């Protein structure tokens, strides 16, 4: 079956009690049991909820995974995955992950005896050299936020598996429509459903997809033990969102390419970060690994003053953190999403004071471009 058919039908069976075509919001904390030990598979709503279960089947199917678990946020999904490693284990992580991931690893989990090394995973030699005897996991994000560096998922998977380590990919920026990490050997895929999967900027959520049965049982155990579950209402919203994921991603991709091309030719823009541009250092890899380039574009204005002018003069694009919704958002990574990353590290990554990021929405692209054009001049 094709992607859209799976998106619309996986997990979306008519309700067994009423025949409702849309999966109902089962807003309940508990379920009546017919007798001792006699129930319909639902006992308590932290453990099981039919609306969440429908979403879990849906996104797992979109990632080509056997198992899926929905969490209260992208961060709680990532935290649950890190519960697969223990004190004394070592994790290799991309040096340009989402700021919140860096914060969770370096400021929280490092206190529990888990060792982290942050390396530029776009150069496979850095990954190879970072392995230690106790390395149990490699965590990559591709393309990265906001400078859009691409990592070769197949190469990372081969090296990690040769060392007996799991590979985790944060697929938030691409969504399963534009990138299928498991087809390259990745073991676990995580998402902030807050972004493209929900797609309408009206819910916070996270997701873990995986194939290994033992790891899956542990993630399920962690989900129930810690309780950072996605609510029935949010599960409903994301399930509604994924039905249109294919058409939305096609539109984000089309608009993203047009905006990147416009910016690349604009005299006031110094540099554009977009894997779809032939000048991007991993353009060929992105073409091979992705089914498109998506809607995330970053560009360098050269100074804070110039970046500020653009950020404060846009009218259609909204100045806000986050991404992946139908509306175009514009942001300043150095002071917004990446404020928790130390300055020296930001400079090294290219997250300068002059860098501006756009989450290109699915409005009419002429309107997005003319808005950026007036703000740039």
User: What stretch of H or E contains 300?
Assistant: strand 296-300
The residue written with tokens 């969102």 in the block is 241
The residue written with tokens 């001792």 in the block is 36
Instruction: Kindly report the backbone phi and psi dihedral angles of residue 252, in degrees, each rounded to the nearest multiple of 5, phi listed first.
Output: -60, -40
Nearer to ligand PLP, 194 or 235 (CB): 194
Binding residues for ligand PLP, total number by CB under 6 A? 16
User: What stretch of H or E contains 127?
Assistant: helix 124-130
Check residue 151 for interaction with ligand PLP (CB under 6 A).
Answer: no
Report the site for ligand PLP in 248-307 (rule: CB under 6 A). Answer: none
Check residue 172 for interaction with ligand PLP (CB under 6 A).
Answer: yes
d(CA 272, CA 56) in angstroms, rounded, equals: 36
From the list 122, 194, 282, 328, which residue makes contact with ligand PLP (rule: CB under 6 A)? 194
Report the site for ligand PLP in 32-91 (rule: CB under 6 A). Answer: 73-75
Check residue 142 for interaction with ligand PLP (CB under 6 A).
Answer: no
> Are 90 and 63 within 8 A, CB to CB?
no
Nearer to ligand PLP, 91 or 376 (CB): 91
Query: Across the chain, how many H-helices and E-strands are there?
Result: 14, 12
| CB proximity list for 57: less than 8 A, separation 6 or greater | 10, 11, 68
Please pick, among 136, 195, 306, 357, the residue that the annotation labels catalytic.
195
Check residue 371 for interaction with ligand PLP (CB under 6 A).
Answer: no
Per the annotation, the verdict on 170 as an active-site residue is yes
**Which token pair is 359?**
């989450």
Check residue 175 for interaction with ligand PLP (CB under 6 A).
Answer: no
Shortest distance, CB of residue 363 to ligand PLP, whole angstroms? Answer: 21
Per the annotation, the verdict on 98 as an active-site residue is yes
Shortest distance, CB of residue 337 to ligand PLP, whole angstroms? Answer: 8
Per the annotation, the verdict on 117 as an active-site residue is no
Per the annotation, the verdict on 253 as an active-site residue is no
SS3 296: strand
Number of Cβ within 10 Å of residue 19's Cβ equals: 7
Check residue 100 for interaction with ligand PLP (CB under 6 A).
Answer: yes
> Are 72 and 314 within 8 A, CB to CB?
no
From the list 51, 58, 142, 145, which residue makes contact with ligand PLP (rule: CB under 6 A)? 145
Torsion region of 11: left, alpha or beta (phi above 0 gives left; psi -120 to 50 gives alpha): left
Shortest distance, CB of residue 16 to ligand PLP, whole angstroms? Answer: 31
Q: Could you list the active site residues?
A: 46, 98, 170, 195
Binding site for ligand PLP (CB under 6 A): 73-75, 98, 100-101, 141, 145, 170, 172-173, 192, 194-195, 204, 206
């Amino acid at each position: 079956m094709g992607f859209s058919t799976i998106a619309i039908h996986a997990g979306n069976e008519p309700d067994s009690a009423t025949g409702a075509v849309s999966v109902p919001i089962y807003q309940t904390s508990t379920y009546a049991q017919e007798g001792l030990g006699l129930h319909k598979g639902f006992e308590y709503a932290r453990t099981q909820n039919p609306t969440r279960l429908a979403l879990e089947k849906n996104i797992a199917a979109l990632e080509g995974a056997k198992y899926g678990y929905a969490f209260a946020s992208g961060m709680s999904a990532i935290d649950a995955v890190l519960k697969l490693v223990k004190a004394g284990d070592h994790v290799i992580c991309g040096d340009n992950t989402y700021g919140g991931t860096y914060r969770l690893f370096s400021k929280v989990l490092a206190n529990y005896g888990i060792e982290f090394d942050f390396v530029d995973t776009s150069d496979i030699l850095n990954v190879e050299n970072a392995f230690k005897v106790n390395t149990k996991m490699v965590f990559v994000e591709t393309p990265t936020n906001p400078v859009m560096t691409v990592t070769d998922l197949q190469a990372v998977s081969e090296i990690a598996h040769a060392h007996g380590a799991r590979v985790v990919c944060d697929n938030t920026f691409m969504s399963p429509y534009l990138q299928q990490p498991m087809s390259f050997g990745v073991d676990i895929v995580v998402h902030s459903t807050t972004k493209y999967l929900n797609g309408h900027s009206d819910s916070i959520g996270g997701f873990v997809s995986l194939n290994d049965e033992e790891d899956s049982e542990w993630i399920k155990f962690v989900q129930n033990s810690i309780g950072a579950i996605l609510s029935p209402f949010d599960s409903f919203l994301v399930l509604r969102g994924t039905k249109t994921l294919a058409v939305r991603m096609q539109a984000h991709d089309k608009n993203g390419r047009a905006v990147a091309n416009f910016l690349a030719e604009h005299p006031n823009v110094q540099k554009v970060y977009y894997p779809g541009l032939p000048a991007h250092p991993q353009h060929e890899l992105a073409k091979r690994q992705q089914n498109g380039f998506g809607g995330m574009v970053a560009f360098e204005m050269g100074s804070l003053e110039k970046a500020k002018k653009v950020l404060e003069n846009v009218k259609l694009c909204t100045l806000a953190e986050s991404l992946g919704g139908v509306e175009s958002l514009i942001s300043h990574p150095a002071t917004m999403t990446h404020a928790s990353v130390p300055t020296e590290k930001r400079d090294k990554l290219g997250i300068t004071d002059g860098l501006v990021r756009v989450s290109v929405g699915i409005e009419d692209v002429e309107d997005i471009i003319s808005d950026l054009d007036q703000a740039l001049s």
